Amino acid sequence: AAGVIQSPRHLIKEKRETATLKCYPIPRHDTVYWYQQGPGQDPQFLISFYEKMQSDKGSIPDRFSAQQFSDYHSELNMSSLELGDSALYFCASSGDTLYSYNEQFFGPGTRLTVL
């Protein structure tokens, strides 16, 4: 079965650079979620989109922005990168059906390293 695809899988950037992470949800899933997982930390919810509109917002820094496109893929844009942004960034998707409410399917993550 198709899964959530994230690209790139690994990314190395310098401080103050920008980065763009991409997420391709499972086909027919209309909701995308972004999480940040620091080293040894639990995943922290950043932001989510439903039908191309922002649906929920968590602890996303102002330096970050995200959007969902007409084909439902999503991009997380990160500017003025800081060392503390080094983390594993997960994307998850869900389809809003009665029996899978809030069940999120996670991608493999993008590991961002800021030097």
Partner 1 sequence: AQSVTQPDIHITVSEGASLELRCNYSYGATPYLFWYVQSPGQGLQLLLKYFSGDTLVQGIKGFEAEFKRSQSSFNLRKPSVHWSDAAEYFCAVGRSSRDMRFGAGTRLTVKP
Interface with partner 1 by CB under 8 A: which residues?
4, 31, 33, 41-45, 48, 55-58, 90, 92, 101-109, 111
Alpha-carbon distance of 103 to 54, in angstroms, equals 18
Q: Which residue type sits at 47?
A: I
Helix (H) or strand (E) segment spanning residue 64? strand 64-68
Minimum distance from residue 80 beta carbon to partner 1 (Å): 26
Nearest approach, Cβ of residue 63 and partner 1 (Å): 21
Phi and psi, residue 100, nearest 5°: -130, 30
Decide whether 72 or 109 has the Cβ nearer to partner 1. 109
Min dist CB 93 to partner 1, Å, is: 11
Cα–Cα distance between 111 and 86 in angstroms, integer? 8
Only one residue has tokens 């950043």, namely 46
Nearer to partner 1, 81 or 107 (CB): 107
Min CB(56)–partner 1 separation in Å: 4
Nearer to partner 1, 24 or 79 (CB): 24
**Cα-to-chain-centroid distance, residue 44:** 11
Among residues 50 and 79, whose Cβ is nearest to partner 1? Answer: 50
Token output for 19: 């980065």
